[in-house]
C-alpha cells in the first residue's frame, strides 16, 4: 500500500513538473509562431465563410512569417483594428507602402500608401470595415498572415496570395500616359 502511495506521488510530481514546462513552451509557440483564429462575418466572402450563416472558417495564422513586417499584395492578414484595439480583423493586403490605390468610398478617390503602412480590404465590398473606412493601416498593427484554412475539413487548403480583379496598386506609368 505504501508503494502505491509513493508511486502516485511520483506520477503527480512528474505531471505537475511537465505541466509547468509545457505551458510556457505552448505560450511561446502561440505567441511567436502560429495560432488558430475563427473568421466571423461576411467581409471576406466569398473566399472565407462562403456559406455565410453560422458556418465559420478557421484559419491558421502564421506569426513567424510577419515578424519583420514582410507581407505581399494578396496576403490575407490579421491586424489589430485601428478603431478598436481589443479586436482583431482579417483582411486582404491590396497595397504596400508607396503604392497608389484607387479607393472604394474613402474620403480621397486616390491614396498613396505612406511608408510603414499598407492598404487592406475585405473581399466583400460594402460589408467590410477596412482601409476604405479608416485609411492606410500601420504595419505595427500586423498580427499574423493566414496560411491555411483548417476548418471545416472539406475546405482545408493552403492560402496563396491573390488580388481580386481590378484591385491593387495603380500602374503610375499607365496613368500618366
Torsion of CA 62, 116, 171, 102, to 10 degrees: 90
128 belongs to the catalytic site: no
Residue 10 burial by Cβ neighbours in a 10 Å radius (0-12, 13-18, 19+) = exposed
Catalytic residue among 43, 78, 128, 147: 43
91 belongs to the catalytic site: yes
C-alpha cell at 129: 470595415
CB 74 within 8 A of CB 92: yes
Catalytic residue among 78, 91, 128, 147: 91
Q: Encode burial over 18-38: b for 16+ CB neighbours within 10 A, e otherwise.
A: eeeeeeeeeeeeeeeebbebe
Helix, strand or coil, per DSSP, at residue 100: strand
Residues marked active site are found at 43, 91
Amino acid at each position: 500500500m505504501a508503494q502505491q502511495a509513493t508511486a502516485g506521488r511520483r506520477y503527480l510530481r512528474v505531471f505537475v513538473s511537465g505541466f509547468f514546462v509545457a505551458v510556457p513552451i505552448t505560450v511561446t509557440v502561440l505567441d511567436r509562431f502560429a495560432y488558430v483564429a475563427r473568421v466571423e462575418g461576411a467581409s471576406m466572402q466569398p473566399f472565407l465563410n462562403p456559406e455565410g450563416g453560422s458556418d465559420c472558417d478557421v484559419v491558421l495564422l502564421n506569426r513567424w512569417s510577419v515578424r519583420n513586417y514582410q507581407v505581399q499584395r494578396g496576403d490575407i492578414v490579421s491586424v489589430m483594428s485601428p478603431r478598436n484595439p481589443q479586436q482583431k480583423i482579417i483582411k486582404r493586403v491590396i497595397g504596400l507602402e508607396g503604392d497608389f490605390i484607387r479607393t472604394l468610398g474613402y474620403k480621397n478617390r486616390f491614396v498613396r500608401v505612406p511608408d510603414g503602412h499598407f492598404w487592406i480590404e475585405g473581399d466583400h465590398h460594402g460589408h467590410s470595415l477596412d482601409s476604405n473606412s479608416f485609411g492606410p493601416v500601420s504595419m505595427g498593427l500586423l498580427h499574423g498572415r493566414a496560411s491555411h484554412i483548417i476548418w471545416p475539413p472539406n475546405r482545408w487548403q493552403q492560402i496563396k496570395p491573390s488580388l481580386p480583379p481590378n484591385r491593387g496598386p495603380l500602374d503610375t506609368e499607365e496613368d500618366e500616359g
